[in-house]
Amino acid sequence: MINKYQETAAYLSQYVEAPIRWGIILGTGLGSLTEKIDIRHRIPYSQIPHFPVSTVEGHSGELVFGYLGGHYVMALNGRFHYYEGYGMDQVTFPVRVMKFLGIERMIVSNAAGGVNPEHEIGDIMLISDHINMIPEHPLRGRNLDELGPRFVDMKDCYNPAMRALAHKIADDAGYKVCEGVYLALQGPTFETQAEYMMISRVGGDAVGMSTVPEVIVARHMGIEVFGVSVITDLGLPGKMVNVSHEEVQEIGRKVTPRVIHIVSELVRLWED
């Protein structure tokens, strides 16, 4: 695998015009975040050696290099979900490659279902922690000792100082964001009412089908992580509404300007 990461990174290095410390993974409906990036290069996944190709609607599948908040960044517009049938090696492949390109900090975003009674549709939730209930672990198998340890410490998996800064960014701009635990399930079904209840009882605030594998692999390599969920539907009794993939995308588009604001300000204000 390491050879593949190196080959892909070697191919992409032609687009790295300046030191690159931030990698961004854009979730469902949040692809327009790239509009805020002063784009220098767009590379369709299909052109990138060894890259899987994304299939879900709303994920256009391209890698973008450019300036955000004054820093050169790379952004993955479209991710690979386990439920699509990709293996964990494929789901997390871009994160490994990012590390080989010099990334030290990763921002992940997603759409999620809220199960915290305080949640409203359209809330922005900073991910404070996660519960991994996807049935396959991305680090299962022989450990790549060159990249990270066998047993990865998961405390403060989501960088507390980045979260604090994001709260300040939102406060200063006059809007609120909440914080909570993201619970990852395999999907692709949305949850039953009983499952939403279970998620709430085991300590989840929001549920989704992505993000956690990429975060685990990033932490394996010592990358600092900032995660944000957009609450696109509610799973609690009395609050539950039926959702379609189109609605999830639509809500994502509505609150995206604030998510964009948080992400671009975080990159701009974060001190090296």
Interface pattern 186-215 for ligand HPA (x via CB under 6 A): ----xx---------------xxx------
Minimum CB distance to ligand HPA smaller for 133 or for 152? 133
What's the closest the beta carbon of residue 129 comes to ligand HPA, in angstroms? 17
Residues 136-195, interacting with ligand HPA (CB under 6 A): 190-191
Q: Other C-beta atoms within 10 Å of 145: how many? A: 8
- Residue 10, phi then psi, degrees to nearest 5: -65, -40
**Among 233, 251, 262, 266, interactor with ligand HPA by CB under 6 A:** 233
Query: How many whole angstroms from its chain centre is CA 25?
Result: 5
* Token pair belonging to 74: 């790379």
Report in angstroms how near the CB of residue 171 gets to ligand HPA at its nearest.
26
DSSP per position, 173-233: HT---EEEEEEE---SSPPPHHHHHHHHHTT-SEEESSSHHHHHHHHHTT-EEEEEEEEEE
For position 62 contacting ligand HPA by CB under 6 A, the verdict is no
Q: Compute the C-alpha angle 215/228/93, nearest 5°.
A: 30
Question: Quick one: which of 232, 256, 258, 259 contacts ligand HPA (CB under 6 A)?
Answer: 232
Nearer to ligand HPA, 57 or 172 (CB): 57
Shortest distance (Å) from residue 42 CB to ligand HPA: 26
Q: How far is the CB of 178 from ligand HPA (least distance, A)?
A: 16
Task: Tell me the C-alpha distance between 215 and 52, whole Å.
Answer: 18
Side chain identity, residue 58? G
- Contact residues: ligand HPA, CB under 6 A: 111-113, 190-191, 207-209, 232-233, 235, 248
